[in-house]
Structure 1
Amino acid sequence: MTRLLSAGRDTVNYPDRGATRRRPLPAGYHHLHHRTRIGRGQAVFEAAGAAVTTFDAHRSSGMLVRAGHGAVSTGSRVVVGIGFGRLRIDAPCEVIWTAYEPHRAGFAYGTLAGHPECGEESFMVLRDPDGTVWFEVTAFSRPGTWYTRLAGPVIPFLQLRYARLLGRTVRKLAAAA
């Protein structure tokens, strides 16, 4: 089994740790920014924030997630898997930063050795002053393996599709709460 919660044994496999928290994103990577309207109000914000920070949104979108229980914390490890059986690809990550604030909830994770990409991705729930709630994915990445280099422009397309799927999933989870 992949090491999961052994913070400090590995480091992220890219030099721009924490860059999703600040702007601009670093050069030399593919950039992704996707935003989905979730709804309105405090209850929607809280439900969406919980779905994101406990990996319920990832799990509900079909990903296999191996992580600690409860809300994410800086330094915790997670492995996100896609596919089935021998065709599954595991993507080990470390939570780089978290936000648990009155109008922002979410986190960013960075890729570790063994991840098919190199980079960082943040998943945020934001509440505007008018009460509108948004889910936002921001990422920078570049290929980390021969097969992601070979896939070329297919990878950014798949990343955008997944960001859109996560947005729809967060909206459904927030509406159901």
Structure 2
Amino acid sequence: MNSKRFTLFSIFLFLLKFVACLREESNESNNLQIWWKRSDIHGWNYRKRRVYNEFKESIADHMYRMALMALIADDLPGINRERCIKIALVHDIAEAIVGDITPSDGVPKVEKSRLEQAALNEMCEVLGGGKRAEEIKELWREYEDNASLEANLVKDFDKIEMILQALEYETGTFRSRSYYCLQ
């Protein structure tokens, strides 16, 4: 329980630092925002948010941002950073096929899990099975079952990423790819 509290506290501090950086007017913070994530966004469409097409987050954007969170987060006792990065990179991979199924879609959890597992199996077949495919399945299952401290931390990053994305949409700090192409 203390590890969980420590992890949540560390994540809370990380979020505060990041939000403070987003609010700064310096070029350095603007560069961090640009580096953090900029591309066409689609995932929020799946999530039923009303966001203009050019500003929607893709599943890849979401997972990449979470992997960056895992990469730059402070070291935590008992946490394997490399495993966190890997879990972040695969945790929503099945959504590339089935989409982001939310509770508002009315799909029972068992059915959602079945659909995502089938999509993951299909993706791993494309890889020809083997060691890497099995690792991807294992990492995904670990996240789904919240079976480790690393999975728990990545679940917390998932919530933080959603909050940051909402903050960008709310404050208008997100800019589409076309904005940077015209610079």
TM-score (norm 2): 0.28
Q: Which has the higher helix share?
A: 2
Which has the higher Rg, Structure 1 or Structure 2? 2
Q: TM-score, normalised by structure 1?
A: 0.29
